[in-house]
């Protein structure tokens, strides 16, 4: 794993500009990318397009980068879910990770973040279940 950079390039709210802005950030020296598998605010597949362009241009390799994504509960999503909402939470976590890896064109991420708790009233059983499932993925599809 590369060292954790002091700054990560945040990819939220860029929409159609995500691929070009991600590539530009890498050209400008960013080596950490923060995204989420939450189409409501992020275009994670666009991040992957920007990464691929930077790889093709020889700007960076995957080994140069620290990639961070997030698992977002259904309540924080819009209708474009990266998992089956009828599935159990551990399955949703695994499906979200698999989708992120595909979006980002990689076999692993360096950081997998819980994108907010299940409720605004403290840590819940759902949070504990999701947290355990996230740890079990170890940021990869393996």
Instruction: Give the chain's mean pLDDT.
Output: 95
pLDDT in tens, 7-48: 999 999 999 999 999 999 999 999 999 999 999 999 999 999
Q: For residue 98, what are the contacts with CB-CB under 8 A and spacing of at least 6?
A: 141
Q: In the prediction, which pLDDT does 67 show?
A: 98
Instruction: Scan for tokens 């698999």, then name that residue.
Output: 98
Q: If you average pLDDT over residues 56-70, what whole number do you get? A: 98
**Domains assigned to the chain:** 9-137 (3.20.20.100)
Q: What is the pTM of this model?
A: 0.94
Distance between CA atoms of residues 23 and 21, nearest Å: 5
Of 89, 44, 22, 139, the residue nearest 8 (C-alpha): 22
Q: If you average pLDDT over residues 122-126, what whole number do you get? A: 93
Q: In what order do the strands lie in the sheet with 9-10?
A: 9-10, 32-34, 66-71, 111-114
Q: In the prediction, which pLDDT does 115 show?
A: 92
Q: In the prediction, which pLDDT does 141 show?
A: 59
């Amino acid at each position: 794993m590369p060292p954790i950079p002091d700054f990560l390039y945040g990819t939220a709210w860029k929409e159609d500009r995500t691929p070009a802005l991600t590539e530009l950030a890498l050209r400008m020296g960013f080596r950490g990318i923060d995204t989420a598998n939450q189409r409501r605010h992020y275009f994670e597949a666009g991040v992957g397009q920007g990464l691929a362009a930077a790889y093709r241009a020889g700007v960076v390799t995957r080994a140069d980068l620290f990639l961070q994504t997030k698992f977002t509960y259904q309540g924080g999503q819009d209708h474009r879910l990266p998992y089956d909402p009828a599935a159990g939470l551990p399955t949703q976590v695994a499906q979200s990770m698999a989708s992120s890896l595909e979006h980002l064109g990689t076999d692993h991420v360096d950081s997998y973040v819980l994108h907010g708790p299940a409720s605004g009233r403290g840590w819940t059983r759902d949070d504990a279940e999701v947290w355990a499932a996230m740890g079990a993925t170890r940021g990869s599809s393996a």
